[in-house]
Structure 1
Amino acid sequence: MLATRPVTTVTFPGQEDHVPAVRAYVRVLYEDHPRLDDLLLILTELITNAVRHTRSGERGGAVTVNVLGPPYEPRFEIQDQGGKAHSEPRHRDPADAEGGYGLRLVEALASRWGADSWPGGTRTWFEIR
């Protein structure tokens, strides 16, 4: 059963150069997780999407990562500041643009994932076992 409150919460500026620090922090928390590499790859993809495709990546923007649940079944929630063209994460056709494989990767590696949007933000979450 998942915890109802975050085990830890990290908020950082919405800039891609802060992603390695978040990865390093999570690596320490979950260093013994059998799927640590997959966990870090999914986390990187979702944070990068938040920075690139929402107002979180604009000047003064931020991204928050909540970590919930026990160490062997963590749930990660990436919260952005919404905005831009599409609030909820969506698949793109890779033939139409650079990239476009990120959510397919998340789908393939996560045990479960999803997203919730509201005016002013989106929370994208994933679980990995």
Structure 2
Amino acid sequence: MTTECDCRPVNDETPPLPHPPSPRERFYRRERRSVPAARAFAREALRDWGAHGRADDVLLCVSELATNALVHGVPPGRGFLLRLVPYGADGGVRVEVHDSGEGVPAQPRQDVREPGEGGRGLLLVSELADKWGVGERCPGKIVWCEFEGPDQG
């Protein structure tokens, strides 16, 4: 014998309970087109979650972390994993880039003055994100950053 449950609202004043957004992740190969693809993936996730408050900052950091992974953290023949995790009731987002490369990213330098490109990625991440860091992974590392929701930041 089975029991059925009616999950409809009791009356018009009782809205259905929202489902919390699920983390999203996608693997990218070591190729140039992976950076815009990662950014588009993140844009879609943020849109689906309704996390619009700091979307531009999140997307820029996704681009920077993905670029750093491709340039410094992904050995030939490998790739990186982008993981986006919603947290908190206020729309916070955690961005993680998992790679299998050795080494740890250098602390951002405030005095980057060279006219060429490069050297500013983690500096941008450290300025835009509320927190960032590096975690261990075997093999490799996880470079992450977090953005509080609009009510916290």
Instruction: Please give the TM-score of this superposition, normalised by the length of structure 2.
Output: 0.69
Q: Which has the higher contact order (CA 8 A, sep 6+)?
A: 1
Would you say the 8 A contact 2:86–2:94 is kept in 1?
A: yes
Give per-residue Cα distances to partners, 1:60-102, cap 9 Å, x unaligned.
111001112338111111001112xxx1111356357741111
- Which residue pairs with 2:3 in the alignment? none
Instruction: Please give the TM-score of this superposition, normalised by the length of structure 1.
Output: 0.81
Would you say the 8 A contact 1:88–1:116 is kept in 2?
A: no
Would you say the 8 A contact 1:9–1:66 is kept in 2?
A: yes
- Which residue pairs with 2:38 in the alignment? 22
Whichever residue aligns with residue 20 of structure 1, its letter is P
Task: Point out where structure 2 has 5 or more consecutive residues left out of the alignment.
Answer: 1-21, 149-153
More helix by share: 1
The within-5 A match list for 1:97-116 is: 98-116=117-135
- Which residue pairs with 1:77 in the alignment? 96
Give per-residue Cα distances to partners, 1:17-75, cap 9 Å, x unaligned.
11111111111111242111110001110110011012x1x431110011123381111
- Which residue pairs with 1:128 in the alignment? 147
Correspondent of 1:62 among 79, 92, 96:
79
Tell me the matched-pair count: 119
Moved over 4 A (4+): 95-98
The structure whose Rg is larger is 2
> Which deviates more, 67-76 or 11-20?
67-76
Following TM superposition, by how much is the alpha carbon of 1:103 offset from its aligned partner in structure 2, in angstroms? Answer: 1.1
Whichever residue aligns with residue 94 of structure 2, its letter is R
Task: Point out where structure 1 has 5 or more consecutive residues left out of the alignment.
Answer: 1-5
Percent identity of paired positions between Structure 1 and Structure 2? 34
Distance in 1 (CA, whole Å) between partners of 2:113 and 2:100 is 28
Q: Residue 10 in 1 paired to residue 26 in 2?
A: yes
